[in-house]
Chain A
């Protein structure tokens, strides 16, 4: 076979991906070039074999009902993820402590914006990728990868034996700040652990729900940490405890 150019071309032709002119050109070419004609013919044979081979996997009838049930559960307001302090705060509101309330309210607006930004970064990575730029379950590979890429050295822990294997890391940007993102998994769930240089210390862990995702944030020294995942609040708490200790 000498005609390297049309090897892929023959496939694009078969797949209807060529323009009208290019299709005519390909037809003309195939009349002269036996190799391309064979490539095309073989792909046609393969296609009909695949399409007539009964290969399409059919879901069990019960699957749709199970998907619907999970969606219905998702549609219920996610109260279970709201921490207790929120309930206390709500009680304070009802108590009419308006003056006390206004300042924390403003503060919570800005922190909510930050949670939202972390969730956006997490969702963006999940959908568009790359979720991981350095693929490794070895913390001695992941940690050095960040050196020279970002002005901080994140703490990278190996939590595989606790059920949270490391799958890698990437650089991300959250609210205009560069952040190191360490990616862990837990069963089917992805966990992003963002690390950035924090401006104000908030060592206590806060846990909030944003767009259905659980977000846990805290600081250690001058580094801020945020863990974002769609797993249960209790599982995320456990993960955060493991990361902190």
Chain B
């Protein structure tokens, strides 16, 4: 008997029982799934396609879900589906940015802090959109979805230490982008 069969009282994939649990446990997480997919694909329609695909996968994988918080489990599948989609459709975007040197973002002045504080939605959105994918995903998972480092590590498939350093670097990049004075003549 497989572990999943024990977990689900002998149920197999297409039994009605897990279907009910899936709907109770996983379907309410649709907004989180969409939020992540939208920020990773940066496109509403692509996000909708990817989310549908991810839920189908999640449904198939559900017998192997070992309990615990289903959100990190689902978001890992959504993230995977996003990167698969981007690799297939927008291969140019899947360039790893981690090798790039960090900007020395020690612009500690209060002027910069004020700029960050007063950044409006459009400016924040653009700064986040322009962040490389690896940084964008940790910001979305931590600041918008409020996942713990351990959960982010599970979703992104990297060690907790990597989550910590990536998050620190992602925040610095955002701060630098937001503290950049709005250039005259450039549309905001």
- Within the assembled complex, what's the spacing in Å between the Cα atoms of A67 and B171? 34
Q: Among A42-50, A147-155, A219-227, which stretch is in contact with chain B?
A: A42-50
- Pairwise interchain contact A188-B47, C-beta atoms closer than 8 A: no
With a CB–CB cut-off of 8 A, which chain B residues contact A176?
Answer: none
* A-B residue pairs in contact (CB < 8 Å), sample of 9: A15-B142, A42-B108, A49-B117, A50-B128, A51-B144, A56-B31, A57-B47, A71-B22, A188-B84
CB neighbours of B76 from chain A (8 A): 127
Chain B, Cβ-Cβ closest to A78:
B14
| A residues less than 8 Å from B164 (CB atoms) | 8, 11-12, 17
**CA of A213 to CA of B85 in the docked complex: distance in angstroms?**
19
B159 beta carbon closer than 8 Å to chain A: no
Q: How far is the CB of A104 from chain B (nearest CB, A)?
A: 24
Residues of chain B with a CB closer than 8 A to A17's CB: 148-149, 164
Contact of A53 with B121 in the complex, beta carbons under 8 Å: yes
Question: What CA separation (Å) do A137 and B116 show in the bound complex?
Answer: 41
Q: Which of B31, B88, B178 contacts A185 (CB 8 A)?
A: B88
Known: A63-B48, A127-B77; 14 extra A-B contacts, CB below 8 A, are: A15-B148, A15-B167, A17-B148, A46-B175, A53-B124, A58-B31, A64-B30, A66-B52, A71-B22, A123-B61, A127-B64, A127-B76, A190-B84, A230-B60
Let me know if B30 and A59 touch, CB within 8 A. yes
In whole Å, how far is A98's beta carbon from the nearest beta carbon of chain B?
27
Query: Which residue of chain A has its CB nearest to the CB of B104?
Result: A1
Q: How many residue pairs bridge A and B at CB < 8 Å?
A: 151
User: What residues of B have a CB within 8 angstroms of the CB of A190 in the complex?
Assistant: 84
**B contact set with A: CB distance below 8 Å:** 13-14, 16, 19, 22-23, 27, 30-31, 34-35, 38-39, 44, 47-53, 55-57, 59-61, 64, 76-77, 80-81, 84-85, 87-88, 91, 106, 108, 113, 116-117, 119-121, 124-125, 128, 139, 142-144, 148-149, 157, 164-165, 167-168, 171, 174-175, 178
A242 adjacent to chain B (CB < 8 Å): no
Contact for A67 among B51, B87, B175, CB less than 8 A: B51
Q: Which residues of A contact B149 (CB under 8 A)?
A: 12, 15, 17
Closest Cβ of chain A to B178, distance in Å, is 7
C-alpha gap A53/B34 in the complex (Å): 18
Whole-angstrom CA separation of A7 from B77 in the bound complex: 31
Interface residue? A31 (CB, 8 A)? no
Q: Smallest CB–CB gap between B7 and chain A, Å?
A: 16
Binding site secondary structure of chain A: helix
B128 touching A55, Cβ below 8 Å:
yes
> Which of B19, B34, B55, B171 makes the CB contact (< 8 A) with A57?
B34
Give the A interface residue count (CB, 8 A).
Answer: 55
In the complex, the answer to whether A47 meets B143 with C-beta atoms within 8 Å is yes
Known: A64-B30, A74-B59, A212-B13. A11 touches B167 (CB 8 A): yes
A:61-101 near B, CB below 8 Å: 63-64, 66-68, 70-71, 74-75, 77
| A201 adjacent to chain B (CB < 8 Å) | no
The answer to whether the Cβ of A102 comes within 8 Å of any Cβ in the partner chain is no
Complexed CA–CA distance, A188 and B30 (Å): 19
Q: A211 near B: Cβ within 8 Å?
A: yes
Rank and list the top 9 A-B pairs by shortest CB-CB distance, nearest first.
Answer: A57-B38, A59-B34, A53-B124, A185-B88, A11-B168, A50-B143, A8-B168, A57-B35, A53-B121
Contacting residues, chain B, for A22 (C-beta < 8 A): none
A211 adjacent to B60 (CB under 8 Å): yes
- In angstroms, Cα B149 to Cα A186, docked, is 33
Of the candidates A38, A63, A66, A165, the one having the most CB atoms from chain B within 10 angstroms of its own CB is A63
Asked whether, in the complex, the Cβ of B124 is within 8 Å of the Cβ of A7, the reply is: no
